[in-house]
């Protein structure tokens, strides 16, 4: 049916109900799937917890009602509706290890590069060999 495009939506909702003056938090995940034949609403805990429950109906009035809710969500969304970017499959590469001869912070002035430092002469960095030599003398 052209007036019933499929609905595929999932997300979380944070409700507060009032049970005769006693407020109660209802925080759940929701997963909607609807087409021209049925509407299914899955309710699940946000993280670990009881197993999800599925409520489904083939009734036209239910499908229309849920579609109206979905359209109202689109209309009242404060931000323009946009596609959620797909997660990138690859993990970003870890930083490569520095080469073994890369300069290290000066152990004499603790990398501060002080002008009086006779090990790094104010650079703040020395070669690993120079650093090892200094540390061996000052152990």
User: Rule CB under 5 A: which residues touch Zn ion?
Assistant: 106, 108-109, 117, 119-120
Residue 88 to residues 48, 82, 91, 92: CA-CA distances in angstroms? 25, 18, 7, 9
CA-closest candidate to residue 28, choices 7, 57, 49: 49
The least CB distance from residue 84 to Zn ion, in Å, is 51
Closer of 70 and 122 to Zn ion (Cβ): 122
The least CB distance from residue 136 to Zn ion, in Å, is 16
Closer of 63 and 108 to Zn ion (Cβ): 108
Separation CA 25–CA 15 (nearest Å): 6
CA-closest candidate to residue 15, choices 5, 23, 7, 25: 25
User: Across-strand partners of 39?
Assistant: 34, 57
The least CB distance from residue 100 to Zn ion, in Å, is 20
Closer of 33 and 128 to Zn ion (Cβ): 128
The least CB distance from residue 103 to Zn ion, in Å, is 11
CA–CA–CA angle 46, 82, 62 (5° rounding): 60
Closer of 37 and 123 to Zn ion (Cβ): 123
């Amino acid at each position: 049916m052209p007036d019933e495009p499929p609905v595929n939506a999932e997300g979380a909702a944070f409700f507060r109900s009032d049970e005769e003056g006693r407020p109660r938090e209802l925080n759940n995940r929701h997963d909607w799937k609807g087409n021209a034949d049925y509407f299914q609403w899955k309710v699940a805990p946000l993280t670990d917890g009881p197993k999800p429950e599925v409520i489904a109906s083939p009734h036209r009035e239910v499908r229309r009602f849920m579609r109206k809710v979905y359209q109202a969500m689109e209309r009242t969304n404060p931000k323009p509706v946009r596609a959620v970017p797909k997660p990138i499959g690859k993990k970003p590469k870890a930083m490569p290890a520095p080469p073994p001869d890369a300069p290290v912070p000066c152990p004499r002035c603790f990398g501060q590069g002080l002008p009086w430092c006779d090990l790094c002469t104010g650079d703040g960095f020395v070669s690993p060999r120079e650093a090892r030599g200094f540390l061996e003398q000052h152990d």
